[in-house]
Structures are given as structure tokens and as C-alpha cells.
A and B are shown apart, each in its own frame.
Chain A
Amino acid sequence: MKYLMSGIGRKQLMAITGLLWSGFVFAHMLPNLLIIFSPEAYNKYSHALTSNPLIYIPEALLVFTILLHLVNGIWVTVENKRARPNKYEMAPSGEKAPRFQSKWMIYHGILLAVFIVYHLVTFKFGPYYSVTYNGVEMRDIHRLVIEVFQSPAYVGFYLACMVAVGFHLSHGFYSSFATLGFFHPRYSPAIEKFGYVYAAVVAGGFMSQPLYVFFLAGR
């Protein structure tokens, strides 16, 4: 308990929950690319997931872990701001400039929290259209996605949020290894590079879908 209340303990919890979500976003992005290839495959994949009662277990885990991450993210950030009540006139620069601006984490993070709720409201709890393939009735989630991504405002918001995911991951992936106590002069630069590539792949993959729909499909 003392551990879970300590600064390092809370950051390690953030690192574990953050890494779990990092894995989830990739696993969410990849099959969504089916939208580009086949509406039927897209709907069938979605149906296979949602019709399995076991889906509640990972869903509950995701909700629980993101809440832990969010609460601790706000908590550590408040502590961090309090630790420097008087600001500097100038920031470190030149040879001593830190590699990246991790101070944005809380801002992308809060945008992501808003996004996740809005995203669930739009899609998961959005209008139910029905479609039947070979006598099996299922939700036509593909139609909803095509409809939603006709709005330039929605697409713009979605793209901005995916840029935020990219930035969040580009620091977060690397950072979590250090937080969990893993740093090695030989492997850490590779982890850092992998983090950048991973962030770009996840963000790019998610962005390809609204762009594809807006410019190429449903027009």
C-alpha cells in the first residue's frame, strides 16, 4: 500500500497501464484497416468480438487500467507543478536541452480521455444499423463509420487526437521502460527508436481510416 502511494509506485503503475494500452491501441488499429479492403470482413470481425461474452473481461480491464492511468497522471502532474512554484526566465538549451518535451504528456493525455469517451459514444453506443450475411444478422458498424467520417469537423478532430496518441506514445513507450527499472546503454537507444516507429505506425494506421473514408469511400 505504501508502495502504491509512493511517487515511484504510482509512476510504475502508470507505466504498466500505459504499456497495456499501448498494446491495445495497436491491436485495435490493425484489424480496423479491414475497412479499406472489405465492409463484410470489417463487420464480421466486429461481430465476432462483440458477440463473445468473454469480451467483457478485457473491456473491464481496459476501463479499469485507463482510469488508474488517468488518476495517477493527473496526480503526479499536480505534484510536479507544485514542486516548482516559481518559473525560470529561460529554459535549458544547447548541449543541455532535454531530448523531448515530456511536459506535454498531461495535455495529450486529457485530450485522449475526452476522445475515448466521445469515441465510445459515437461508435459503440451510436446508432444501430443492421446487415445480414448468409442469414446471420449483425450490426452494420461499417455503415456508421462511413457516415461519421463524412463530416470534416469529425475527421479533423479525429486526426488531431491521433497526432496526440502519436506524441504520447513517442515519449511514453521509452519512458515506461526507465520507470520500470530497465535501462541499458546498448538496448535503450533501440527501445527509444522503436517507440518512435511504434508511435508513428499506430497514429498513421488510425489516421489512414478517416482519410480513406473521407476522400475515397462513400462519395
Chain B
Amino acid sequence: MGGTNSTNLKLKLKVWRQKNPQSEGHFENYDVDSISSDASFLEMLDVVNNKLIRDGKDPIAFDHDCREGICGSCSMVINGNPHGPQKGTATCQLHMRKFQSGDSITIEPFRAKSFPVIKDLAVDRSAFDRIIASGGYVSVNAGNARDANSIPVPKAKAERAFMSAACIACGACVAACSNSSAMLFVSAKVSHLGLLPQGDPERESRVLKMMRTMEEAGFGNCSNTGACSLACPKEISFENIADLNREFARASAKERA
């Protein structure tokens, strides 16, 4: 494996270890070497874990699934950046060639009241599921599906809906936000569904329910710092947040009782 440019890296890792949700948690240092610059960040952690297991120690727990940047599982904060230093990239798609031999790398879990740590780097993001369940859907009556081509969607709207649909619900926006706000996530869902004719009937109720669930779950408010969009592996635009603010005000004005 590896082209002629591949090198071996020696790294100093500082990793957050926490036994369970109740325990305190602390950083632990690991010196690792012979990490191929062609490895992904998760493969690097696999190598570290193999060694920990061989030494009879507890491996570092972290979430991962697809390892191709589409499932949104691989949550961690690398040197202060959710998903690491490279824009538009999930941790699983980040490669060690972004680092240099001798680098120190601090790895922490996503930190938010609404994302409690389960173990080490793995956090409980079920608050996102509750937000989706409250309104992030389109209701359809069963029966024959309508021919998709018979529902006209203006190109500009289709494009913005599609860009919003790229959200993989990884929670990096919450992790990056100084207020642990989930507004970028909610705004992606609200624009994705609300811009399309299929989602239009529930346009108002959706935004109200999702925002209320978000607040109940203990996420903060938006201070418009833009950190969320910069951290997002799918680069969901900050514009979505302004749209969400507008949609919420509009739906509130139309709401009865």
C-alpha cells in the first residue's frame, strides 16, 4: 500500500478518556510511531487501539460506521476542530498526510449538555433523533406514488433543498458552536423539506415543532458566529440559519392559539 510519497509519522496523542457518563474523564497521552501518512484518522486510531488491546488495556471508544463520509457517526474534536483541520471533511475522510511527524494531536469528544459522553469519544446524539421525530419528516398518504416528474420544482429551490439535504446529522455544528446550538442542523432539515412541494403542507408546523424540541433538549441559541458552517463536513451554508430565523417568525405569526 501507499505510493512513493507515503511516509511514517511519529505522533504525540492526547486523548480524552472517560469510563462512563457518570465518571469525570481526563486526558491521557500516547506516543505512537509508524503511522502511515496514507492512513485515515480512524485507521490511525485503530492502530493505537490494537496496541492498547495487545497491552491488555481498554481501547479508545469512538463512533464510526460507513468510513466514507456519509453516515455522520465519526464524531470527535481534533485540535479544537470538529472533524479536524480540513474543511468539508468528516473525520473518517481525513488523512494523516494532513499532519507532520512530531505533531501533538489533542482528541476530545463533542462537548454539549445535550450530547452526553457515553464513553471516551463516543457521545449520545439521540437529541437529534428527537428533533427529527418532532417534525423532520414529510407525511404521505399511502397509495400510488405520484409521478415525480409531474411535480414541478423551480431549479433554484431544488438546488438549495439538495444542498441542505447533504446534512449527515453528525453534530459537528453543535460541537463547534460556542453555545452548543443545533440551529444549523435544524435549518438544514427545515430548508431541505420546506423548500420542496412535498414538504410544503407541514412547512409551518415543522419549524415550530423542531425548534421547540431543540430548545427543550438544552441546545443554546445562535450568536451568528458562523463556526457551525465552517466545521460542517458537508459545508451547509450559514444562510440556512437566517432562513430558519425567518421561517420561525413567519410560522409563529401564522400560528393560531
Contact = CB atoms under 8 A, between A and B. Distances in A.
A183 B247 CA distance: 13
B188 interface: no
Contacts of A157: none
Interface stretch (A7-15, A32-40, A140-148): A7-15
A58 interface: no
How many residues of A sit at the interface, in one of the four size bands?
35 or more
Contacts of B231: 92, 96
Interface stretch (A42-50, A98-106, A109-117, A210-218): A98-106
Contact of A93 (B80, B225, B248): B80
B121 to A, nearest CB: 13
Contacts, number: 158
A179 B245 contact: yes
B180 A84 contact: yes
Contact of A181 (B77, B180, B223, B242): B242
A97 interface: yes
Nearest to B78: A90
Contacts of A105: 223
Nearest to A183: B242
A96 B173 CA distance: 11
A96 B223 contact: no
Nearest to A4: B252
Nearest to B239: A183
B178 A80 contact: yes
Interface in A167-196: 171, 174-175, 177-185
Nearest to A175: B224
How many residues of B sit at the interface, in one of the four size bands?
35 or more
Contacts of A93: 79-81, 85
B190 to A, nearest CB: 12
Contacts of A80: 178-181, 220-221, 223
Given A83-B180, A181-B247, A183-B239, 13 more contacts: A6-B212, A8-B221, A12-B249, A79-B221, A82-B218, A90-B80, A91-B80, A93-B85, A95-B86, A98-B176, A174-B224, A178-B222, A178-B224
Interface of A: 2-3, 6-12, 76, 79-80, 82-100, 102-103, 105, 171, 174-175, 177-185
25 contacts: A6-B211, A8-B222, A8-B249, A12-B249, A79-B179, A80-B178, A80-B220, A82-B218, A82-B220, A83-B112, A83-B113, A83-B219, A88-B111, A90-B106, A92-B227, A92-B230, A96-B82, A98-B225, A99-B225, A171-B224, A178-B224, A178-B242, A179-B222, A183-B239, A183-B241
Interface of B: 14, 16, 27, 77, 79-82, 85-87, 106, 108, 111-114, 176, 178-181, 211-212, 215, 218-227, 230-231, 238-239, 241-249, 252-253, 255
The 10 closest A-B pairs by CB, nearest first: A181-B246, A90-B80, A183-B242, A83-B220, A80-B179, A83-B180, A98-B227, A3-B252, A80-B220, A175-B224
